[in-house]
Every structure is written in structure tokens, then in C-alpha cells.
Amino acid sequence: MPNAYRGRFAPSPTGPLHFGSLLSAVASYLDARQQQGTWLIRLEDVDGTRCQDSFQQAILDTLASYHLISDEDIVRQSDRQSLYQHFLEQLITSNLAYPCQCTRASLKANSGLHPNQCQCDMNHPHSWRAFCEVGRYEYCDPIQGKQYFDISQPSNHPVLKRKDGYFSYQLAVVVDDHLQRISHIVRGADLLDTTGQQLWLYQQFGWQAPVMMHLPLIVNEFGDKISKQNHAKAIPNGERQVLLRVLYYLGFKDAPRDYSLLQLLSWATEHWQPTQLSQANLALLDTDQHLIQ
């Protein structure tokens, strides 16, 4: 008997929810609901240097205003540091992680290679990297098609724990998705390149990887994705027109304009066809620029 569908939306509270994030949230919600699955919200606040508590509630309030509410208690990564340390120590004990004092500049100057395989002074601040001696993977994305990853080169060894003591996204997301029994992940194509490193971690821990589906990104006139880094503004709470525009970019060109928010979500769930989405990024229309500026 197949495992029950369990999906999630996992924003980082480094700013308010913007249009691109709402699109990812709606897509993951529709995918879960169409499969009669469970949909969770997880706050990925593992990076204490960038995340702010004030944004956590703002994000949750905005999601709730669009009737996007977690089916289970919300998990916060900042509460799970001991879990991440436990699994990091498993990798260290198995010689699958090594200490590293290299900076981005030194790695760039050395073509991404680690001098002397990072024989660093353990008494000084250091990060921990995954030792991916064998790391070639093939993966078929439901939207993006066949993907090939080679993370065996030292330049592709992901950081698992940073010098400042914060755990990396890569380790935390794999541990959390496994412990929350996530079976399907729907997220933006900007995270496609992280998939190979995550598949390696799943393999080392002996866990089954979830299905990972990567949505085309909404980009501005310069080809940059709509993001907090590009100063995308917060979306208003509970506006039908905003949800209609989200659905437009998810392939629903004829969504009923007189439906309520709940009716729109129900209608979109019934008609959801993610495999029909474009692999290429989608340019934000001029008439929608007000959604991000």
C-alpha cells in the first residue's frame, strides 16, 4: 500500500510573504489537496542571522487570509538544533563529513578545490562539509524532466554546519522532511540545483527521498526571480484578485472571477495539472508589476 501523500510549504521568515512565495504555497496546497493529502507549513528559520520573529506571524497571517492553513502543528527549525546535530554526528562518525576553514574567496582562487582536503585547526572556527566521494544522480522531475547531478567534486560538497554554528539549509531540510514524513515537495526551480545534494543525504541516512517537483519561476523584466533579495513587496492579505493572478501563472487562464477565495481553491484543486506547466521561467506581465513593486 503506497504511503499517504504529505506535502509542505516551508518559507524562511526573512521578510514578508511576496507574490512568488504565495504562488509556491498555492501550488503545493493544490497538489496535496488533489491527492487527498496532508499539507503542512514549516518555518525554515535555521539561519538566525537573517530570520526575524516578526516575519513569522506575518507570513502565517497572510497564508491564513488565503485559507492556506497547516493541517498539523507548525514546525520551526530553530527549535530543532539538537536533531540536526545528532544527524551531523552520524555523518562525521561515518567519515562522510569533514571540517573546513576555507572561505568562498579561497575556494574560488583554488578552482573550488580544498587545499590539503581541509586539514584545519579544530580549535578555530570551522564549518562541516559533506564528503561526497560518490555523488552522481539521475532524477526525473514531474515538470522539469530528467535531471543529472554530479556532486562528487569538492567544489560541490555542501556545507552542513556553518562556522558561526548555524546549520545549513541542506541538512535541516532533509532531516525535517524525513521526520515529518513528507512524500512530495513542490517548490521553485531556483532550488533544483540543491536536489543532488539532498539526494546524497537521503542515501547516506538510508531514507527514501520524496518526489520533488520544481515550478517555473516568475521573473521580472531583467530575468530575475521575484524574491525578497530583489525587494519584492509584501502581498496584501486575502485579496481575490491576487489569488486570481497566482492561478493565472499556475496555468489557470479561465479561473472564475466571481468565486470566493475558498471556491477558487476548490476549483483549482479539481483542475490542477502541474505536468502541463512550462519548464521555462514565466515573465511577469506589465499589468502585474504592481504586485511586486
In the chain, where are the structural domains located?
1-79+216-293, 81-210
Q: Is 43 helix (H, G, I), strand (E, B) or coil?
A: strand
Q: Quick check: pTM over 0.85?
A: yes
Q: Do 1-79+216-293 and 81-210 agree at the fold level?
A: yes
Residue recorded with cell 491564513: 64
Measure the CA–CA gap between 55 and 47, rounded to whole angstroms.
14
CA dihedral 55, 59, 61, 67 (to 10 degrees): 180
Measure the CA–CA gap between 106 and 186, rounded to whole angstroms.
35
Q: Mean pLDDT lowest for which of 66-75, 180-189, 274-283?
A: 274-283
Q: pLDDT for 116-175, tens place per residue? A: 555 566 666 788 988 887 778 899 999 999 999 988 776 678 889 998 889 999 999 999
Grid coordinates representing 2? 503506497
Question: Does the domain formed by 81-210 have CATH 3.40.50.620?
Answer: yes
Q: Which residues contact 120 (CB under 8 A, 6 or more apart)?
A: 99, 100, 101, 126
In degrees and rounded to multiples of 5, residue 83 shows phi and psi of -65, -45
Question: Does the domain formed by 1-79+216-293 have CATH 3.40.50.720?
Answer: no
